[in-house]
Structure 1
């Protein structure tokens, strides 16, 4: 079974994340997409980042009606800071029956060469890339690479930052969020201040 790993802080998860994840699960050769919630980096200022369990709960609420999308807290259990190469090694060891791939935006692919052991990742895992609005062209190193699959997914420009600012400023951000996620945020008064 082929699993696509979609990493993010998901602070909060929004319809843009869901459109990309569902598109990858339905229109590529991936069998499932795991939404990997990235824990808080202790070296960074926490500011508006909700606690790990709240962000995981929102991903659970967003994905529970989508059988091919799964929430994952795998990085909560791993040493900090998290490096993707270590997470992949751990998953591959723990789930021998699965083949893991990465899902990333075109913008992330252009900085992929700066990732820890990116060459090891590329040697052992496929990468599924979705388009972003950007003037950048994919680096020569990655153009036509047999492990890199550019998927013709919708371009979605919704940002968690914008959603948090909207809620803080009393604007209606509801259409940008899965309904259960909106209810959870509203009930808990998240991002209000």
Structure 2
């Protein structure tokens, strides 16, 4: 089975994430898309993140009705900060019959050469790249596939600020995620 790994903080998961994941699964040769919740991204401040189990629960709620999506807490059990290559290696060892591909936004290509073992990621796994607003970078490599997808300029930062200010996030989040945030009083 060919699995697309969609890494992120998902702080919170929003409709843009779901649209991109759906396009990747529907318009490529990926059998499934796994949302890999990163407990600590080496490039983000830890204090801005809500608890990893709340972020996992929101992803589970958001994808509950999608047969080809999975939520993964694999990085919760790994050393921190999490590096993509380490997670890819672990998953490849644990699921030797699966082929893993990395799903990233085109904006990540700017700094991809700075990622730990980026050459190994390219050669052994490959990238499925979706467009991001303002993106100009392209990598000409046989293991990089650019996938036509809607330009999604929805940010979790905007959603957190909107919640904190008491404004509506309707249509930005799945209803189940919005209800969970309200019930748990997250991002206030």
1:150 lines up with 2:151 in the alignment: no
1:182 lines up with 2:171 in the alignment: no
Structure 1 residue 123: deviation in Å?
Answer: 1.0
Conservation of the 8 A alpha-carbon contact between 1:4 and 1:33: yes
Structure 1 residue 72: deviation in Å?
Answer: 0.4
Give the 4+ runs in structure 1 shifted more than 6 A. Answer: none
Match of 2:158 in 1: 162
Structure 1 residue 42: deviation in Å?
Answer: 8.9
Q: TM-score, normalised by structure 1?
A: 0.93
Conservation of the 8 A alpha-carbon contact between 1:48 and 1:191: no
Match of 1:49 in 2: 49
Structure 1 counterpart SS, 2:48: coil
Match of 1:103 in 2: 103
Change (3 A) 1:44 1:104: closer
Match of 2:116 in 1: 116
Query: Any idea what the Cα deviations from partners look like across 1:45-67, whole Å, max 9, x if unmatched?
Result: 43331101000000000011001
Q: TM-score, normalised by structure 2?
A: 0.96
Structure 1 residue 44: deviation in Å?
Answer: 6.3
- CA RMSD after TM alignment: 1.5
Q: How many pairs align?
A: 188
For residues 46 and 100 of structure 1, the distance between their equivalents in structure 2, rounded to whole angstroms, comes to 27
Change (3 A) 1:2 1:66: same
Match of 1:6 in 2: 6
Conservation of the 8 A alpha-carbon contact between 1:5 and 1:34: yes
